[in-house]
Structure 1
Amino acid sequence: MTEVWQEPWFPWAVGLAVGVPVLLIVLTEVLGALSRRGNAAAKPVRLLRNFVVPVGAVFALLVFATARADDITWVRIVGTLLGFLLILLILSAFNVALFANAEEGSWRDRIPSIFVDLARLALILIGLAILFSWVWGADIGGLVTALGVTSIVIGLALQNAVGGVISGLLLLFEQPFRLGDWLDTGSVRGRVVEVNWRAVHLDTGNGIQIVPNSSLAGASFTNLSQPVGAFTASVEVTFSTDDAPDDVLRLLREVASALPMLEPSDEVSASYLGAARFSVTLPVTGPSAADEAVARFRAWLWYAARRRGLALDGDGTDPIATPERLGAALVTLAPTLHAREEDLDELAGSCTLERYGPGETVQAAGTVPDAIRFLIEGGVQLAVPTKDGLITFQYLGTGDVIGQTALTREVAMAAAIADGTTLVLRMPLSSIDRLVRTRPRLAQEIGASIDHKHRQAQAALAEAGIVRGTIGR
């Protein structure tokens, strides 16, 4: 009787019993290390550990540890499965090596994923054909011929649909745009939200517009997002021929420069076209911000033109600039100003009412205010500018005061942003000086208000972890 260790299958059995667990333990440790680092190589290692090694062990056991003829079918089945897994493992490894860590802008990064998927499918089919030919002895020549004839028939029957698919593939290969880019095809303008084999989906803001790839491939279109940088939106406005062009140009630049969606690296430009027409170019951050920038610019310009006494669209009237409204506002503020009736008559000749649109800057930070403004209607947000944006720390409403540092000739630390439509009474520095000289209590109240706002601003900065010296004054 032959001893068990002398059997031909014994060395293979011992090798599999010891080698497979050791190999699985090593692969598990490697997989854990790759997963913690987020390495793309974890995917082929997981495939190797979970499928290739176990199936390979079964295949080796069947081939080398048994010699029974009735097991030949099972050997072929397991061999086919192992071959398919090896094909997937090789493709996964090549994908990681070529595309997973591709540098931005390189040819590997520019190749659309659809082409990678098509190439992977073709290699899988070729690998399976070779595998079946080798393991099962299948005649793949006849199958290839039959598939070729069938493909020709199907292509002739579906040539219109296939033409769109081919156009889509060529468009994807050229990559004239990417997801998120803005396209203008002449008939539609929108942001690319999806690209597939047949069509491009554009978000127009009023729904999704489906544009066939064949239409884009056969016609010209504009990629508004290229080159990278500011996107310019043009606005044309009209004033009165009585308005001085230099005054209008100065107003246009000031209003446009305050828009929050401007590209920081570019500047606004304005030009006079003649016949009281002016053109303004707004360098915004992208096409998506263009419509909002134009709409906000036109709204702010309406308020700013009335404050300057300029006739936008030939109309210079201001419905709030009436003596009656100004007198009523001064009467309301009389207790705050400690003013007598004769003082109100004098103030009526120097003070004015101003309106600001939502989001407009009533008082800029880092400048010495030219006047003190009293809130009559609406309100403002006080905010300190930092390198990361504005930090809001106080809301002011009806009866509150803006720009008290005009009296002390100090730079305003905070900006005042209109919170909705806001009406203020503007009192020039000369008028407030006359009141303060005869009313010490008013001067004390203004000083206390300045100190209070400074403390609130400092507290807001401290809460945000910002040192006061880093804020521009």
Structure 2
Amino acid sequence: MKYPLILGYAIVAVDLVVWRGRLPAHDLARLFIRLALFFALSWILFTTGLSPFTQAPDFGAIELHWLGQLLEIIWWLMGARLLSLSLDTLLLPRAWRKQRLFSDVFGAVVFLAAAVAALGFVLELPVRGLVATSGALAIVLGLAIQSTLSDVFAGIVINTTEPYAVGDWVTIDDVEGKVIEMNWRATHLLTGQGNTLIVPNAVAAKAKITNNSKPGDVHGLSIVLEIEPEARPRTVLDALERALTGCEIILASPAPFARMKRTTANSVQYEVMAFVDDMNKKLAASNELFDLCYRHLAAASVVLRALGVPAASVNSRDGREALLTRVSLFDSLSGDEVSKLAKRLTRHEYQANHQVLAPDTVPDSLSIVHSGTLSVSIMEGTSNREISRIGPGEAFGEAGLLAGLAMRVSITTLTPSVLFQLGKDDMTSFLKDHSEVAKQMCQLLAYRQDKLGKLTTPMPVEPEKDHSLFHWLVAKVWNVHSLHDDSKSS
């Protein structure tokens, strides 16, 4: 074959273009093209006397001899690279390919072996002496980079045992974060504060590791509450169980639970444990569950407070006023108005699975949940679909009480519940004495309908073009409660 060196270097140039240009874009197709080029280069070398296992012929000129030597060395290095790529692409699991640790270590070993082979076969250097010298040098380097080598070998163990993978949420020595990179030296975590934490593999291999992503469909969350020792444990546990019932985000299986964890000199610690199906839901579920625990404990007269401060005495009327202040519908009322309205509330108790409100009915009272958990569902076809759950401090029926609008939902108690209700006659009497409050309530009601979609029934008539939903509601409230004309002013 004429011009073997030209053909050999041409193949090397094409391989370089394919490698650096990433042509084609698909990794597997690019690998097969490079393997075909390597086999073509091997055929040219072995059929023209340029065997990589011997020195290159002189070709009548020393320059051509050294070009042949260089081409044979390139063959060894090119083969080492393609061997490591083939193992990485065809044999290694996808998780190992992402972590790159095993690929980098194997590639380094293969390149070292190829370099030694090229020195021994092509350049015919005394490899035995080189190996002996490199062994002594390796001992010196090993002592100098002992910590780095421990990270490398610990990384090999981590990749082999796979306690976590890229994308998992893990806790390493009480530091929680998402694994974003694993290399030959360290594991990179993205913490909840948005910072990157680098954990050396040697530290991770010795640490206690909690993988929050395995199993992938169950993730636990825990809330610990310190309660005054005077509170009866059964009362506290019942309130916490009602809070768990009212949280929609958590899973029903595994079942959530509340338990007394331990006692201290000044308090009793209770733990609430629940589970979610997505790691990204843990924060929202924890916040919602803590809010529900706070509200249900307050409804049971167990207040979360600084335990070194004596508890303030609360009478029943103060409790009703506090309940009214937690309802957004009455945010605009003054303290005196809340006190007057609180006297009109009546107390009602319901057992579990009792229907408080039937669908397509006009509520004749405003109901405020004092304790317990209720389910709000809507009829779809032949079955009911739960759309939300409500608990202490939440109210329903305001659309019917103020404007006589029907509600399409059904509300049923899930646990024994206590509601405080404000009847239509009491509301009418109150609004007649405080007609300006009607407009303020209509403003809030119009906002909830227009922006938040809180009303569960469509408007029976279309508002006039020059009147807003607020004006329509003011007129409706004025008709229902027979208020004075000044309540319709905007």
Unmatched 5+ stretches in structure 1: 1-7, 334-344, 353-362, 375-381, 393-399, 415-425, 437-444, 457-473
Q: CA separation of 1:44/1:315 partners in 2, compared to 1, >3 Å: closer, same or farther?
A: farther
Q: CA separation of 1:451/1:164 partners in 2, compared to 1, >3 Å: closer, same or farther?
A: closer
Aligned twin of 1:452:
458
| Residues 161-176 of structure 1 mapped to structure 2, 5 A cutoff | 161-176=148-163
1:41 aligns to what SS in structure 2? helix
Aligned twin of 1:470:
none
Aligned twin of 1:78:
71
Aligned twin of 2:244:
256
1:69 aligns to what SS in structure 2? coil
Give aligned-pair identity as a percent. 17
Deviation at 1:233, TM superposition (A): 0.9
- Distance (whole Å) between structure 2 residues aligned to residue 366 and residue 272 of structure 1: 40
Any conservation in 2 of the 1:385–1:391 contact (CA below 8 Å)?
no
Aligned twin of 1:460:
none
- 2:261 matches 1:267: no
Deviation at 1:349, TM superposition (A): 1.7
Aligned twin of 2:303:
312
Deviation at 1:154, TM superposition (A): 1.8
Q: CA separation of 1:367/1:125 partners in 2, compared to 1, >3 Å: closer, same or farther?
A: farther
Q: Deviations over 1:152-195 (max 9, x none)?
A: 12223443443444344434433323333321425x45444444
Aligned twin of 1:301:
293
Any conservation in 2 of the 1:365–1:385 contact (CA below 8 Å)?
no
Q: CA separation of 1:263/1:451 partners in 2, compared to 1, >3 Å: closer, same or farther?
A: closer
- Distance (whole Å) between structure 1 residues aligned to residue 357 and residue 119 of structure 2: 78
Aligned twin of 2:116:
129
Q: How many residues are aligned here? A: 363
Any conservation in 1 of the 2:169–2:213 contact (CA below 8 Å)?
yes
Any conservation in 2 of the 1:366–1:413 contact (CA below 8 Å)?
yes
Deviation at 1:401, TM superposition (A): 6.7
Any conservation in 1 of the 2:186–2:201 contact (CA below 8 Å)?
yes
Q: CA separation of 1:110/1:189 partners in 2, compared to 1, >3 Å: closer, same or farther?
A: same
- 2:127 matches 1:140: yes
2:71 aligns to what SS in structure 1? helix
- Distance (whole Å) between structure 1 residues aligned to residue 206 and residue 228 of structure 2: 44
- Distance (whole Å) between structure 2 residues aligned to residue 45 and residue 60 of structure 1: 21
Q: Deviations over 1:235-258 (max 9, x none)?
A: 235379577935x54542343344
Q: CA separation of 1:265/1:125 partners in 2, compared to 1, >3 Å: closer, same or farther?
A: same
Which amino acid in structure 2 is aligned with residue 349 of structure 1?
R
Aligned twin of 1:321:
321
- Distance (whole Å) between structure 1 residues aligned to residue 191 and residue 160 of structure 2: 25
- Distance (whole Å) between structure 1 residues aligned to residue 294 and residue 360 of structure 2: 24
- 2:136 matches 1:182: no
TM-score normalized by structure 2? Answer: 0.53
- Distance (whole Å) between structure 2 residues aligned to residue 278 and residue 370 of structure 1: 40
Aligned twin of 2:137:
150
Any conservation in 1 of the 2:177–2:192 contact (CA below 8 Å)?
yes
Q: CA separation of 1:58/1:74 partners in 2, compared to 1, >3 Å: closer, same or farther?
A: farther
Any conservation in 1 of the 2:223–2:273 contact (CA below 8 Å)?
yes
Aligned twin of 2:409:
412
Aligned twin of 1:231:
220
Any conservation in 2 of the 1:405–1:411 contact (CA below 8 Å)?
no
Unmatched 5+ stretches in structure 2: 51-56, 305-310, 334-339, 348-355, 369-375, 389-395, 412-418, 429-441, 450-454, 463-490
Q: CA separation of 1:261/1:118 partners in 2, compared to 1, >3 Å: closer, same or farther?
A: same
Any conservation in 1 of the 2:155–2:185 contact (CA below 8 Å)?
yes
Which amino acid in structure 1 is aligned with residue 107 of structure 2?
R
RMSD: 5.9
2:409 aligns to what SS in structure 1? coil
Which amino acid in structure 2 is aligned with residue 266 of structure 1?
P
Q: CA separation of 1:434/1:370 partners in 2, compared to 1, >3 Å: closer, same or farther?
A: closer
Aligned twin of 1:114:
101
TM-score normalized by structure 1? Answer: 0.55
Which amino acid in structure 1 is aligned with residue 274 of structure 2?
L
Any conservation in 1 of the 2:260–2:271 contact (CA below 8 Å)?
yes
- Distance (whole Å) between structure 2 residues aligned to residue 157 and residue 276 of structure 1: 54
- Distance (whole Å) between structure 2 residues aligned to residue 192 and residue 323 of structure 1: 45
- 2:349 matches 1:349: no
Any conservation in 1 of the 2:242–2:296 contact (CA below 8 Å)?
no
Deviation at 1:98, TM superposition (A): 0.9
Q: CA separation of 1:42/1:371 partners in 2, compared to 1, >3 Å: closer, same or farther?
A: farther
Q: CA separation of 1:292/1:324 partners in 2, compared to 1, >3 Å: closer, same or farther?
A: closer
Any conservation in 2 of the 1:309–1:316 contact (CA below 8 Å)?
no
Q: Deviations over 1:54-74 (max 9, x none)?
A: 75687589769x994223433
- Distance (whole Å) between structure 2 residues aligned to residue 295 and residue 177 of structure 1: 27
Any conservation in 2 of the 1:184–1:224 contact (CA below 8 Å)?
no
Which amino acid in structure 2 is aligned with residue 282 of structure 1?
A
1:311 aligns to what SS in structure 2? coil
